[in-house]
């Protein structure tokens, strides 16, 4: 049975681009209401999904007000659900573990270690990191402030985070490296830089140094997540969230910013949701790619499910095999710059899609 594939549709006015242009406004509306709440990005993406799903019903000239109302309703729904849970909590059995007697003490020690680690950074590293992580300045604005490029700032932030992790663990251990080789080895492990690890003979040093051997485990675990390619198994709803967050984090580290991050994360959610709903499992591979001087993120979603009988029909706008607000494959295609589907009945489906950084980004 031959495979079928579909590529990008012919260029023309795409109303989803109008939605993308409104995303900075949506972000402002959501952040003004929830601040740094962990669900902020999910609320922004939920707004995007609802507006895109309603595009055929939105009258000309009404897209912006519809988007504003939708964003407000999404936030209000979250607070209403949270309030309902709080009001009914007394009716449920509290199965949470009691707070350990030393939990407050440990939290205080961790906060002191973070403060000490920040103090060990030089002033430029610390100011740039705090401006990005706390004040919310993106790499482009930081680059303009320093006369650099967003790619150089992103690379500096990666190095600073790697050093901060090392200094935090040393402060938490209240230990000083016994040799001059320790810090270079720990930094190479923290950054996940395999070339640098070979240069400093990290493996050999860890065998000889008890302190570095002890600190290497959390640093190696963290460093692996910084690779330019990440594979996420997909089989349940929780994996959808993991895939979305992983893609967003990898794209941000590669230099992608703003609306593109939201569009990418939403498209990943949709292809992951398809795997969970219609197959017994699959995987998503997220990878940083470069082509002709452009950098972007490529997502490959594979499953061994029943396949798609008619790819053209499945890619038609408005087609859906399940009820709800899901955008499905047509919606995911609108969000990405490049999109292709290959499917064979009885053997599974592979979706390959790419989002490129905007001009001026690395």
Among 2-6, 205-209, 339-343, which is the least confidently predicted range?
2-6
Query: Could you tell me if 309 and 326 lie in one domain?
Result: yes
CATH number of the domain to which 333 belongs: 3.30.565.10
- Is the pLDDT at 326 greater than 50? The verdict is no
- Is 95 inside any structural domain? no
Query: Could you tell me if 111 and 142 lie in one domain?
Result: yes
CATH number of the domain to which 68 belongs: 1.10.1740
- Is the pLDDT at 322 greater than 60? The verdict is no
- Is 292 inside any structural domain? yes
- Is 187 inside any structural domain? yes
Query: Could you tell me if 129 and 192 lie in one domain?
Result: yes
Question: In the numeric block, which tokens belong to residue 277?
Answer: 């709903």
Q: Is the pTM of this model over 0.85?
A: no
Note the helical H segments in the chain: 15-21, 23-34, 40-54, 63-88, 103-120, 123-133, 139-146, 150-173, 182-191, 194-199, 202-208, 210-224, 237-254, 258-278, 311-314, 328-335
Please say which residue of 208, 224, 240 terminates a domain: 224
Distance of alpha carbon 86 from alpha carbon 59, whole angstroms: 39
Please say which residue of 191, 208, 224 terminates a domain: 224
Query: Could you tell me if 33 and 120 lie in one domain?
Result: no
Query: Could you tell me if 243 and 290 lie in one domain?
Result: yes
* Nearest one of 230, 358, 229 to 296, comparing CA atoms: 358
Q: Sorting pLDDT into bands at 50, 70 and 90, what band is 331?
A: confident
- Is 203 inside any structural domain? yes
Report the C-alpha dihedral over residues 40, 37, 253, 48, rounded to 10 degrees. 0
Question: Please, what is the average pLDDT of the chain?
Answer: 77
- Is 94 inside any structural domain? no
Please say which residue of 209, 224, 239 terminates a domain: 224
List, for residues 256-308, the tens digit of each pLDDT value. 887 888 889 889 988 998 888 888 888 898 988 887 778 889 999 988 888 88
- Is 93 inside any structural domain? no
The boundaries of the domain holding residue 50 are: 15-87
Decide which of 256 and 150 is more confident: 256
- Is the pLDDT at 160 greater than 50? The verdict is yes
Q: Which residues contact 181 (CB under 8 A, 6 or more apart)?
A: 200, 205, 209
- Answer whether 118's CB lies under 8 Å from 164's CB: yes
Query: Could you tell me if 219 and 113 lie in one domain?
Result: yes
3-state secondary structure of 175: coil
Q: Sorting pLDDT into bands at 50, 70 and 90, what band is 45?
A: confident
Distance of alpha carbon 178 from alpha carbon 147, whole angstroms: 38
Query: Could you tell me if 232 and 314 lie in one domain?
Result: yes
Task: For tokens 């040799």, name the residue.
Answer: 179
Decide which of 320 and 201 is more confident: 201
Query: Could you tell me if 109 and 72 lie in one domain?
Result: no
Q: What is the mean pLDDT of residues 70-78?
A: 83
* Domain count along the chain: 3
Q: What is the mean pLDDT of residues 10-28?
A: 67
- Is 299 inside any structural domain? yes
Decide which of 127 and 80 is more confident: 127
Decide which of 224 and 277 is more confident: 277
Query: Could you tell me if 215 and 202 lie in one domain?
Result: yes
* Nearest one of 351, 362, 9, 326 to 155, comparing CA atoms: 362
Query: Could you tell me if 166 and 215 lie in one domain?
Result: yes
- Answer whether 351's CB lies under 8 Å from 20's CB: no
- Is 83 inside any structural domain? yes
Distance of alpha carbon 152 from alpha carbon 263, whole angstroms: 24
């Amino acid at each position: 049975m031959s495979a079928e594939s579909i590529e990008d549709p012919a260029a023309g006015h795409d109303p989803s681009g109008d939605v993308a242009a409104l995303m900075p406004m949506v972000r402002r509306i959501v952040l003004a209401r929830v601040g740094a709440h962990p669900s902020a990005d999910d609320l922004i993406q939920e707004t995007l999904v609802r507006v895109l799903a309603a595009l055929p019903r939105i009258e000309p000239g009404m897209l912006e007000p519809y988007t504003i109302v939708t964003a407000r309703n999404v936030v209000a729904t979250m607070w209403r659900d949270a309030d309902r849970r709080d009001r009914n909590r007394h009716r449920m059995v509290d199965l949470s573990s009691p707070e350990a007697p030393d939990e407050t003490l440990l939290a205080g020690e961790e906060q002191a270690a973070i403060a000490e680690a920040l103090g060990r950074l030089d002033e430029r590293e610390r100011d740039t990191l705090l401006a990005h992580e706390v004040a919310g300045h993106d790499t482009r604005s930081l680059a303009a402030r320093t006369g650099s490029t967003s790619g150089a700032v992103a690379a500096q932030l990666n190095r600073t985070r790697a050093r901060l992790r090392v200094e935090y663990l040393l402060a938490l251990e209240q230990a000083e490296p016994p040799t001059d080789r320790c810090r270079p080895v720990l930094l190479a492990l923290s950054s996940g830089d395999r070339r640098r690890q070979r240069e400093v003979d990290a493996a050999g040093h860890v065998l000889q140094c008890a302190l570095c051997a002890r600190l290497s485990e959390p640093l190696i675990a963290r460093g692996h997540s910084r690779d330019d390619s990440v594979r996420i198994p997909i089989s349940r709803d929780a994996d959808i969230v993991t895939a979305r967050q992983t893609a967003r984090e990898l794209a941000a580290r590669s230099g992608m910013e703003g609306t593109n991050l939201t569009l990418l994360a939403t498209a990943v959610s949709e292809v992951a949701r398809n795997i969970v709903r219609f197959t017994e499992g699959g995987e998503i591979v997220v990878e940083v790619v470069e082509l002709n001087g452009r950098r972007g993120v490529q997502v490959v979603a594979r499953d061994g499910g029943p396949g798609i009988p008619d790819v053209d029909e499945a890619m038609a706008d408005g087609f859906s095999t399940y009820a709800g607000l899901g955008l499905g494959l047509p919606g995911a295609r609108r969000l990405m710059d490049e999109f292709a589907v290959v499917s064979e009945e009885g053997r599974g489906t592979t979706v390959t899609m790419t989002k490129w950084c905007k001009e001026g980004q690395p």
